[in-house]
Amino acid sequence: MPPGILCQQLTLKRAATLFDWYQTDEIPIIAAFGASSPLPNIQVNQVAKYMTDQSHQCVIIGIAGASASGKSLIASTLYRELREQVGDEHIGVIPEDCYYKDQSHLSMEERVKTNYDHPSAMDHSLLLEHLQALKRGSAIDLPVYSYVEHTRMKETVTVEPKKVIILEGILLLTDARLRDELNFSIFVDTRWISA
């Protein structure tokens, strides 16, 4: 478990995941444990209350963990639950996958050799700029990544500022600059069992 002082426990209503909220010197860290953990009957409205109390700010929640660990499930469940508290128009979800570096200057042979599980594959500087812009109340042009071409597309998606941004990806917590922008951090800790 992460170091810190246990503040409270939170659970998503329909997710089989236990969240322990730890207050550290930097940011609250929510450590996620597997489905075998007991589920207390505590609602997400505790997180929503924090978010609405900070109404002058954009609240950014980072969800990290290994591939197939349940990050997207947690992000979508959190989105549904918070939507009831703050409204659909005030919440956005940004996948870290959109920020894989542009590789159009490389041959396809070189592109397929990229280690997508290494922080160097990510354009965290652009992601940082985008998070800071959203916090200032400015829209961003979210990159679109093609897994077929192994590079960014020319098209982008406009993301307007929101009260709550849910950011999910495998490498979010590897960059201290990104961690500094997060109000909450969730790490999905899963056990891998070999057959």
Helix 71-86 with 45-53: angle, nearest 10 deg: 60
86 within domain boundaries: yes
Asked whether residue 194 is assigned to any structural domain, the reply reads: no
Q: Following DSSP, what letter does each residue of 95-140 receive, concatenated?
A: EGGGGBPP-TTS-HHHHTT--TTSGGGB-HHHHHHHHHHHHHT--E
Cα separation, 144 vs 141, in Å, equals: 9
13 part of a folded domain: yes
pLDDT at 7: 32
Residue 148 exposed, middle or buried by CB count within 10 Å (0-12, 13-18, 19+): exposed
Say which CATH number the domain at 97 has: 3.40.50.300
Q: Does residue 114 lie in a domain region?
A: yes
Does 143 fall in a domain?
yes
Q: Are 60 and 165 in contact (CB under 8 A)?
A: yes
Residue 193 lies in a domain: no
Residue 84 inside a domain? The answer is: yes
User: Domain containing 89: what range?
Assistant: 5-188
Nearest CA to 182 out of 11, 63, 68 is that of 63
Residues of the chain with pLDDT under 70: 1-56, 190-195
Q: How far does CA 158 lie from the centroid of its chain?
A: 18
The bridge status of strand 140-146 relative to strand 91-95 is unpaired
Closest CA to 41 of 21, 83, 13, 76: 13
pLDDT at 98: 94
pLDDT one-digit tens code per residue, 4-47: 333 333 333 333 333 333 333 333 344 443 333 332 333 455 55
Is residue 169 situated within a structural domain?
A: yes
Give the Cα separation of 108 and 103 in Å (integer). Answer: 9
Instruction: Work out how many domains the chain is built from and give that number.
Output: 1
CA–CA distances in Å: residue 56 to residues 4, 59, 80, 93, 162 = 27, 9, 22, 19, 11
Asked if residue 173 lies in contact with residue 62, where contact means CB atoms within 8 angstroms, the answer is yes
pLDDT given at position 97: 92
Greatest Cα pair distance in the chain:
53
